[in-house]
């Protein structure tokens, strides 16, 4: 089986200058946890996941002042929330150099190996240099555990 046979039914593309709140809405609406970051011309410049958003949005424990304020009130300060809402995808994304991609004509097993090796949930899929979708652990499991089970009944 090839990667192109297991493409996710929907995927999300965002631009580096999009607000992270808009990126999250787009991912939430399609029910995925990651988005490919592309330029207006379609070149892949990064990838952003729900984990990247959390890491970017949440203050670190080393910032004692804001951490103490959060723990006292059990809420984020309004100034911090305003700052989060103004952040852009480029502030949170993984850069293109760290994005693992796979060709659509590669064996699906290679995608599984890449996901395992790099601890990824999904990988952008290319046809040459053109983004054609994403493949995810969930889509692979659906094929292995659900779709194939239905075919054998």
Domain boundaries, the chain: 3-151
Strands 94-95 and 34-38 come out as unpaired
For the domain made up of 3-151, give the CATH fold.
CBS-domain (3.10.580)
* pLDDT for res 116: 93
**pTM for the whole thing?**
0.77
Give the side-chain half-sphere CA count within 13 A for 48: 32
Q: What are the average pLDDT values for consecutive 10-residue runs of the chain, which has 153 residues?
A: 90 94 92 92 91 75 61 65 80 87 94 93 92 91 72 55
3-state secondary structure of 6: helix
């Amino acid at each position: 089986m090839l990667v192109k046979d297991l493409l996710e039914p929907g995927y999300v593309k965002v631009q580096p200058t999009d607000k992270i709140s808009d990126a999250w809405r787009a991912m939430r609406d399609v029910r995925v946890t990651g988005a490919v970051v592309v330029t207006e011309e379609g070149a892949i410049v990064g990838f952003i996941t729900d984990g990247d958003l959390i890491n970017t949005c949440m203050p670190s424990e080393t910032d004692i002042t804001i951490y103490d304020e959060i723990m006292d009130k059990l809420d984020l300060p309004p100034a911090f929330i305003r700052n989060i809402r103004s952040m852009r995808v480029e502030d949170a994304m993984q850069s293109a150099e760290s994005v693992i991609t796979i060709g659509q004509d590669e064996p699906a097993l290679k995608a599984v190996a890449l996901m395992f090796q790099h601890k990824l949930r999904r990988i952008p899929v290319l046809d040459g240099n053109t983004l054609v979708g994403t493949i995810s652990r969930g889509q692979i499991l659906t094929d292995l555990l659900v779709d194939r089970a239905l075919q054998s009944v």
